[in-house]
Amino acid sequence: MTTDTYFDMRNLAWPKGKLGGCPVDGCTANLERTDIQRDKMDYCPVHHIRIHAKSRTFVYYGGPDATLRNILFERQYFKKHIIGNTAKAETHRIGHENSEDALTWNVFSRLARGDLLRKLLSKLSSLDVMCEPELYLWGLKINLDDLSSPSLFPPLVSARGVFEKNIAHFLTEPDIMLYAPGQSLVLVEAKFTSGNTIVSSSSTHDIIDEKPKSREGILRRYPHDELLEPTFSGPFYSQLYRNLVFAKHMANELGVRWFLVNLVSEGQFRQQKNKVEFQDPTQFIHKLLPEKSRDQFLFYSWERLYVDFVAKETGLHDLAEYMYNKSANGVKAFSV
């Protein structure tokens, strides 16, 4: 039984001409049905994956460590400190083929192990970073050689206290933060198969103890006197706006320069470019910032990261192989 195998473009081949069937190349197993969230879904008993045929994706399924099959690097650290951590939202989704969190962990934990975060931070900020920065994923300090539980970034806790009092669930959780003490703080809003969230058209969707979804609710809860008045029309990217407010607030507290990066998949954005969620948000961010600060935002991609850092590093063959063969909805994820 292949209960611990990871699948990507090297061993996936969805059955042609039909929605059913296991996506693992050559599998002819009779699928079973499994209950999930009051519904029944197909399940391959040979490869232990739950199959979402309509969206042509799958989930590692069966057993307490099934989701860890999607974690290729620093797995024991991830198992001990991230899975089930109440400070990290939705770790139960780590086992999804399209998990943004699994992708983020695999790439950034491997870069951290290779001592390459200083080079990456220098690229993202255009600064000459002098030392390896601190890495925070979902607000948690990731020190791969420290056996103790990771702590939350204190300025993030402080910013939540300012902007998110009385919010009970899903506090602002920057996907990635790179902090070089005395120099810079970079917040990265990472996307994989999803686009950048836009505001709801009506404030009736706002709930008192949750982050607001409407433009009016977001501007009321997350004001910042260093941002320009957003009087423009067009899409309002709510997650990016919140991250911008948090970046500026935390950097001011730390006495360093802030930077904000939107990290996306060129391949995914190209496929859905007609949707506003999948369009370049640079113009939106620039309209919020005085001209002197506009170079502190960067629209970047996993593909560029692969070319700029991963492919050219002789010690990162394993990460290069992972990114090159990564799948999304059963096809090649990245344009590399």
* Residues 34 and 151 both lie in one domain: no
- 63, 88, 110: which is the final residue of a domain? 63
Its domain, for residue 46, covers 1-63
Are residues 59 and 110 both part of a single domain? no
In this predicted structure, what is the pLDDT of residue 18? 67
Domain-embedded: residue 69: no
Q: What is the DSSP letter of 336?
A: -
Mean pLDDT of 207-232: 87
For residue 102, give the H/E element and its range: helix 100-113
pLDDT reading at 262 higher than 80: yes
The domain boundary residue, chosen from 13, 47, 63: 63
Over residues 123-144, the pLDDT tens digits come to 999 999 989 999 999 999 999 9
141 within some domain: yes
Residue-wise pLDDT for 264-303, tens only, equals: 999 999 999 899 999 999 999 999 999 999 999 999 999 9
* Same domain assignment for residues 190 and 281: yes
Query: Is 317 in the same domain as 225?
Result: yes
User: Is there a single domain that holds both residue 54 and residue 152?
Assistant: no
pLDDT on residue 38: 66
Structural domains in the chain (count):
2
